Each structure stands twice: as C-alpha cells, then as structure tokens.
C-alpha cells in the first residue's frame, strides 16, 4: 500500500510548494535523529517525512504520485520503492534544515569562519613564518 504523503507532512493535497517545504522543515526538525538520538520511532518517522518531501517537492514525482493514489489503475502491480538520495547526510543534516529558518546573506564555504577561528589561524601562520625565518637565518650564519 502506498503511504499518504500528504498526511505524513500534515498538509492538504492542494498544498503549495511553500506550504510543503514549511511543513517538512518543521517536522524534520522535530523528528531529526540528531535531536532524538535514542528514539528508533523518531528515526523511522523522520525517514517517512523525508520520503514524503522527496516525492511532493518534485513536480513530476508529485503528479505521478497523485495519479497513482487518486486515480487507481486497472492493473494492480508492485509499487516502486523510494530510495534516499546519495547525498542524504548533506541535504537532510540537522544543521542544513535549521539553516533554512535563518535568513543569511552569505553562507558556507571555507571563508565562513568565526573571528576567533580566523585570529587563531593568523597566529599559527605567523608562528610558522617566524620558525621558517629562524631556520633560514641559521642556515645563512652556519654556512
């Protein structure tokens, strides 16, 4: 039996893509395995939420799903199983879902670090240059 993705995401079949996305983020944060570490039920619920969002957020997949659920075919056959995307941990990580709630101007990348981390890297670079200078001076004086 095909699960009702609209019920899983707690939206109506006429929901807009923004309503689906908002509901997904809310439910994913609530049931995310990183937040509920010891709850197997919560992990299973999270996977159902992700599966429902994967189908309902894609226009063609949603059309196919709506046809299969609301317009049953004459020939019953096996329903294809959903498989998570290859980049599951990056797309559905707890931090990535939380980031959807925060407005940001620029984010991510190797330059998105805190001032404290930046100052620490600057100090480490200066120490390395000082050591290199000391080695060069030693070689020049010893040679």
Same domain, 41 and 16: yes
Read off the tokens for 10.
């707690």
Same domain, 65 and 125: no
What string of pLDDT tens digits covers the 143 residues of the chain?
678 899 999 999 999 999 999 999 999 888 888 887 777 888 888 889 999 999 999 999 898 888 888 776 555 566 666 666 656 666 667 677 666 665 555 555 554 556 666 677 788 889 999 999 999 999 999 87
Q: How many other C-beta atoms can be found within 10 angstroms of the C-beta atom of residue 33?
A: 17
User: pTM of the prediction?
Assistant: 0.52
Residue 43, domain extent: 5-107
Indicate the number of domains in the chain: 2
């Amino acid at each position: 039996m095909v699960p009702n993705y609209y019920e899983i995401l707690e939206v109506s079949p006429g929901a807009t893509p923004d309503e689906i996305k908002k509901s997904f983020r809310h439910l994913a944060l609530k049931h995310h395995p990183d937040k509920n570490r010891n709850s197997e039920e919560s992990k299973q619920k999270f996977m159902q939420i992700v599966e429902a969002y994967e189908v309902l957020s894609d226009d063609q997949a949603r059309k196919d799903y709506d046809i299969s659920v609301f317009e049953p075919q004459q020939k019953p056959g096996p329903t294809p199983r959903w498989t998570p995307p290859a980049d599951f941990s990056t797309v559905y990580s707890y931090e990535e879902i939380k980031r959807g709630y925060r407005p940001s101007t620029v984010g991510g990348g190797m330059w998105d670090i805190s001032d404290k981390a930046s100052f620490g890297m600057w100090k480490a670079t200066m120490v390395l240059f000082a050591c290199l200078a000391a080695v060069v001076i030693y070689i020049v004086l010893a040679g």
